[in-house]
């Protein structure tokens, strides 16, 4: 009986580990409210975001890339974010609002 319980617990842990890894494999995209003038690389949430125009993409995100704190880091560097997430999951309006508290004023972003 103990062996079955242990085996079931191990299987559950392995399943959760693979699910997290699969989510981390999805590219994370941030759409900016205003485009940037120059191609830029930003490191946030353990990933490199390549930004051009109004779009930033992390093609190889880590398990911690999909987070409000990562969105805040991008907003701090590049200005307000209109949407943030991957194919399976997006930040909701409340979390986007929290993200954009860190946004640079538009005048500073225009000078980048």
Residue-wise pLDDT for 11-27, tens only, equals 544 444 444 444 457 89
d(CA 96, CA 73) in angstroms, rounded, equals 12
Burial (CB count <10 Å: 0-12, 13-18, 19+), residue 34: middle
Distances (CA, A) of 29 to 5, 32, 44, 62: 40, 10, 12, 13
Tens of pLDDT, residue by residue over 61-107, are 998 999 999 999 999 999 999 999 999 999 999 999 999 998 966 54
The domain locations on the chain are: 25-110
Characterize the bridge pairing of strands 47-58 and 81-85. Answer: unpaired
Q: pTM for this one?
A: 0.72
Tell me which residue has tokens 């993409």: 57
d(CA 13, CA 29) in angstroms, rounded, equals 28
């Amino acid at each position: 009986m103990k062996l079955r319980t242990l085996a079931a617990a191990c299987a559950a842990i392995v399943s959760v580990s693979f699910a997290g890894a699969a989510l981390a494999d999805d590219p994370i995209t941030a759409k900016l409210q205003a485009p940037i003038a120059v191609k830029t690389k930003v490191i946030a949430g353990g990933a490199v975001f390549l930004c051009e125009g109004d779009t930033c993409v992390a093609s190889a995100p880590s398990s911690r890339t999909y987070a409000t704190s990562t969105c805040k880091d991008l907003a701090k560097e590049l200005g307000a974010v209109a949407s943030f997430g991957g194919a399976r999951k997006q930040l909701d309006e409340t979390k986007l609002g929290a993200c954009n508290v860190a946004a640079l004023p538009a005048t500073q972003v225009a000078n980048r």
